[in-house]
Amino acid sequence: MPFAHAVLHEENGAFGISFPDFPGCITGADSEEEAIRKADEVLTFHVGGMLEDGEVLPVRRSLRELLADPETREALSDGVLFLARYELPRKSIRINISMDETLIEAIDRAAEHANQSRSGFLADAARQRIRDLLKAE
């Protein structure tokens, strides 16, 4: 499983995660443990979005390269570096499902509002439901 460097920050009891090689990818939580757990999830989601948009993933920099970067050094002045794992999207598989037509119409309206395809909207909804179920365990 691929990984990327992440920086854990704490400010006033809130914890945040940033990724030096993935600018704009951030997450936060109320506890250190929750923030670290969410790091893998948000990075996987971010990478999936980049690939879906046709972007090229950045090459992971070495520790030496990161420490030579002034922005990363500054982030590490009050943060802790750790490794976050992410999953690469796999090949899409076409499926055939049945749903109430009014539900499908509502899904299509919501997907259009979110600028997504029906498949993308349903996949995001399924991922969110899975995350919610895992949190409840």
Q: 77 and 118 share a domain?
A: no
**Domains of the chain: total:** 2
What string of pLDDT tens digits covers the 137 residues of the chain?
A: 899 999 999 999 999 999 999 999 999 999 999 999 899 999 999 999 898 888 999 999 999 999 999 999 988 888 999 999 998 887 778 899 999 999 999 999 999 998 888 988 898 899 888 888 877 76
Q: Distance of alpha carbon 65 from its chain centroid, rounded?
A: 23
Same domain, 107 and 68: no
Judge residue 42's burial from the number of C-beta atoms within 10 Å of its C-beta, 0-12 exposed, 13-18 middle, 19 or more buried: buried
Q: Are residues 46 and 3 in the same domain?
A: yes
Q: What is the pTM of this model?
A: 0.65
Residue 23 and residue 74 in one domain: yes
Report pLDDT for 91.
Answer: 73
State whether 50 and 97 are in the same domain: no
CA distance 119 to 35: 29
**78 and 116 co-located in one domain:** no
C-alpha span between 73 and 85 (Å, rounded): 22
Domain that holds residue 96: 92-137
Burial of residue 39 (CB within 10 Å: 0-12, 13-18, 19+) is: buried
Q: Work out the number of other CB atoms within 10 angstroms of the CB of residue 86.
A: 22
Positions of E strands within 38-129: 79-85
Beta partners for residue 9, in sequence order: 16, 79
What pLDDT does 137 receive? 66
DSSP 55: P
Structure tokens at 68: 């030579």
